[in-house]
Amino acid sequence: MRFLRKSLTGLFLLSLTLGLLVYAGVLVRDAVQHAMTQEPRMPNARERVFTVNVVEARPEALRPILQAFGEVQSRRTLELRAAASGALVDLAPDFVEGGQVVAGQLLARIDPAGAQLALDRAESDLLDARAEQREAERAIVLARDELTAAEEQVALRAQALERAQGLLDRRVGTAATVEDAELALSSARQSVLTRRQAVATAEARIDQAATALRRGEIAVAEAQRALDDTEVRAAFAGTLSDVTVVAGRLVSANEQLAQLVDPQALEVAFRVSTQQYARLLSDAGRVQEMPVTATLDVFGTNLAATGHVSRDGAAVGEGQTGRLLFATLDAPRGFKPGDFVTVAIEEPEVRDVIRLPATALNAASQVLVLGEGARLEAMTVDLVRRQGDAVLVRSAALEGRQVVAERTPLLGAGIRVEPVGEAAAVAEAPAMIALSDERRARLVAFVEANSRMPEEARSRLLAQLAQPEVPAETVARIEQRMGG
């Protein structure tokens, strides 16, 4: 019995296997016959449509911004040097690195003992010179008085000679008396010459006294200046830097003690190319005083100061290119000499230019614009300026057109695109057409029978086909897939 049961089970399994094989063969045969009897269908090629960002070309008047890099420096920097040698006996509390000082403030004093003694000696010599001048003035007065007295004696002697000569003519006097009178007159005249020589000597003494007095005054002035040189004072209000001395140190003449910097008189020195420099010149060939903004980036916190271009460098400089310009800062709050800053200069206004993203322009100065049927067209423009991530171009034919903002290697003339962006929102509405009932039914049947289409896309197309007017682009796309 067990053998019979196992035999029947094996026979049942064999029959079931043969039945399944026959059923599989029938399915394969039917599939092959269906494939062989079906008409061949070529798939319709679909044109690839790219999505691009577009911007509208609007001509306007702009002031281009020229950017450069420069260094902040002070227009008023003074080296504080020792005019005399000696020991520093006094230092001001503010004579330190970064000390704030005012104009005329005493910063340091060198031992003034030697200079004070020299001044005292010069003043004593000056007193002697003044006394000598007074004595010479008194001596000339006396010499002139003696000359006057001698001249009076000459007049008296001449009268005595005239009387003696008269007496001799009347035979009253004698010849000896006349000779005595003549000798007395000659002696008086000799005395006048002597007194005149004394007056000349007194006048020369006055001149010598005046010269000695002048030399004494000069010596006092020199001694006073030497004494003043022992003091180091601030010529203007500012900040001290590079302080290298301490109290009690011996310093030599002309040794630098520190630098005095005016923190309010700052300027920026920056270099531009020769082409950029030519755009900043006026009709007279001089650099225009254009507005300037200097920016210092301090880990995200920007310090900015405004100013204007003040002058340009006299020479290019060895090993340099371009032109060196200087801009004066109006209120340099937070800036220090030595800061490396970014300089933005407002150039003269440029009219009828179009601002576009820099990615819209290729190396051949061409841009892509939307043409008929949303296809791209290449257009050549004139490049006016490059402004960071933007370019300024000029073209009369570009006005009002939709320009591709970002070019890629896949885009070119004749490519069909779908525009997006602000400019696409104001683009013309798609063309609409009215469908006949037969044509509408055929399109709806094709959409409903397409099993590969997502349900969301099918619902959207059916909703569009249900409208009185359907976008022509949608109809053309469906009919293209239908092959008719």
Would you place residue 422 in the very low, low, confident or very high pLDDT band (cuts 50, 70, 90)?
low
- Map tokens 């000459």 to a residue: 154
Torsion of CA 150, 154, 157, 158, to 10 degrees: -170
Structure tokens at 455: 């349900």
pLDDT at 326 over 90: yes
pLDDT at 287 over 80: yes
Encode burial over 112-135: b for 16+ CB neighbours within 10 A, e otherwise.
beebeebbeebeebbeebeebbee
Q: For residue 269, what pLDDT is reported? A: 92
Q: For residue 428, what pLDDT is reported? A: 47
Q: What is the pLDDT of residues 139-166, one digit of tens each?
A: 888 888 877 887 777 777 777 777 777 7
Residue of 362, 358, 349, 352 lying closest to 65 (CA atoms): 349
Structure tokens at 74: 């002070």
Cα 74 to Cα 259: distance, rounded to the nearest angstrom = 12
Q: For residue 41, what pLDDT is reported? A: 57
Q: For residue 38, what pLDDT is reported? A: 63
Strand 417-420 with 50-56, pairing: parallel
Structure tokens at 215: 């030399």
pLDDT at 57 over 70: yes
Q: What is the pLDDT of residues 74-88, one digit of tens each?
A: 888 888 888 888 888
Q: For residue 178, what pLDDT is reported? A: 67
Q: Are 146 and 196 in contact (CB under 8 A)?
A: no
Cα 357 to Cα 389: distance, rounded to the nearest angstrom = 6
Residue of 420, 334, 408 lying closest to 370 (CA atoms): 420
* pTM, rounded to two decimals: 0.58
Q: What is the pLDDT of residues 78-127, one digit of tens each?
A: 888 888 888 888 888 888 888 888 888 888 888 888 888 988 898 888 89
Q: Are 447 and 474 in contact (CB under 8 A)?
A: no
Q: For residue 470, what pLDDT is reported? A: 80
**Which region among 263-272, 287-296, 451-460, 467-476 has the lowest average model confidence (pLDDT)?**
451-460
Structure tokens at 87: 């020991």
Q: For residue 427, what pLDDT is reported? A: 46
Average pLDDT over residues 311-336: 86
Instruction: Give the residue, 267 or 456, on which the prediction is more confident.
Output: 267
Cα–Cα–Cα angle for 224, 228, 231, nearest 5°? 160
Q: What is the pLDDT of residues 59-75, one digit of tens each?
A: 888 888 888 899 999 88
Q: Which domains does the chain have, with CATH numbers?
A: 51-61+352-425 (2.40.420.20), 76-111+230-260 (2.40.50.100), 114-228 (1.10.287.620), 265-346 (2.40.30), 432-482 (no CATH)
